Amino acid sequence: MNRAPLVAAVLAWYEENARDLPWRRADASPWAVMVSEFMLQQTPVDRVLGPWRDWMERWPQPAALAAAPAGDAVRAWGRLGYPRRALRLHQAAVTITDEHGGRVPDDRAALLRLPGVGPYTAAAVLSFAFGQRHVVLDTNVRRVLSRVAAGVAYPSPTPTRAEEALAEEFLPSGQAAAARWAVASMELGALVCTARSPRCSSCPVSSACAWQSAGKPAWDGPPRRGQSYTGTDRQCRGVLLAVLRSSDAPVGREELLAGWSEPAQAERALASLLADGLADQVGGRFTLPH
């Protein structure tokens, strides 16, 4: 497959169809991009927009967040889910302030040393904030490449070396074009080459898509099961955190656990919040972390 025309078609499509997201604008700081990447992990864009704007207004620079208690970050995270991300982002802000002069580093090794930053987040920040050439493999990009190049409906559950090598083949050699391809291919997966109802008739590369050419064969890999939430420890943790977020004073154990109908599960969830640093215990009462 000749990659260059396909890449060019996606880039042209992006110029006409890209969503106007604030962290993609030319004036978005590296910190703004980094905050968006933390928030967007396993969370749809429409749920992130409001909290992101509030966060950036309150803490426009890493030093501002670093000066605040960690509990403020957890409280501001609200209902975005996976609140450990808030704690890790606060820890990253402290490290950036203490070790990098308050500036998000533009070096991969330095980024990977920040709390909460893995290979994907590092590549995304370097690409989107600094215009560097990196393979950025999120779920959307992986799905686009699996269909266009491999002819299968979905990628494997976790990225493989073969996928990374394939993504490298598509990555333009120039830094600016590579950074643009990273966001354009991601947008194509988010808006057109979607998981459940792909809009192949609107796809700029449908004529070159191996999956389309093969008749869009059904997925024959492991069953794709959605994550359950109702009744889980994760939901229980969210209920307990909501109680802590709603109170400015330490909350007693009985009051904290009263919102969940299964006492043993509530105790287990509380223990996990304490272990993760998302709650502090002061005597027999509990608060968000200080």
| Cross-strand bridge partners of residue 285 | 252, 282
Q: Report, as an integer, the average pLDDT of 270-278.
A: 94
Question: What would the two tokens of residue 78 be?
Answer: 């609200």
What's residue 224's pLDDT? Answer: 60
Average pLDDT, the chain: 94
Q: Which residues contact 4 (CB under 8 A, 6 or more apart)?
A: none
Q: What is the pLDDT of residue 197?
A: 93
- pLDDT of 184: 98
Q: Look up residue 261 and give its two tokens.
A: 């109908």
Question: What percent of the chain has a predicted confidence (pLDDT) above 90?
Answer: 86
Q: Following DSSP, what letter does each residue of 214-225 receive, concatenated?
A: TT-PPP-SS--P
Provide the residue ranges of all domains of the chain, joining segments of one domain with +: 233-287
39-88 residue pLDDT tens: 999 899 999 999 999 999 999 999 999 999 999 999 999 888 889 999 99
pLDDT grade for 219, boundaries at 50, 70 and 90? confident
Give me the architecture of the 233-287 domain, per CATH. Answer: Orthogonal Bundle (1.10)
What does the pLDDT read at residue 79? 84
58-71 per-position pLDDT tens digit: 999 999 999 999 99
Span 267-279, mean pLDDT? 94
Spatial CA neighbour of 130 closest among 60, 30, 24, 26: 30
Region 248-260: mean pLDDT is: 92
What pLDDT sits at residue 281? Answer: 94
In this predicted structure, the answer to whether residue 143 has a pLDDT above a threshold of 80 is: yes
Among residues 74, 211, 69, the alpha carbon closest in space to that of 154 is found at: 211
Using a pLDDT cut of 70, give the percent of the chain over it.
Answer: 98
Residue 1 clears pLDDT 70, i.e. is over it: no
Query: Is the confidence at residue 220, as pLDDT, over 80?
Result: no
Token pair, residue 237, equals 């943790």
Instruction: Decide if 117 contacts 91 (C-beta within 8 A).
Output: no
Q: CB atoms < 10 A from the CB of 214, how many?
A: 11
What is the reported pLDDT for 276? 93
pLDDT computed for residue 226 by the predictor? 60
Q: Evaluate if residue 112 carries a pLDDT over 90.
A: yes
Residue 227 has pLDDT above 70, yes or no: no
pTM of structure? 0.90
d(CA 59, CA 38) in angstroms, rounded, equals 15
Residues marked as catalytic: 37
In sequence order, the β-bridge partners of residue 252 are 285
- Confidence class of residue 225 from pLDDT cuts 50, 70 and 90? low
Q: Report how far Cα 76 is from the mean position of its chain's Cα atoms.
A: 17
Q: What are 207's two structure tokens? A: 């004529």
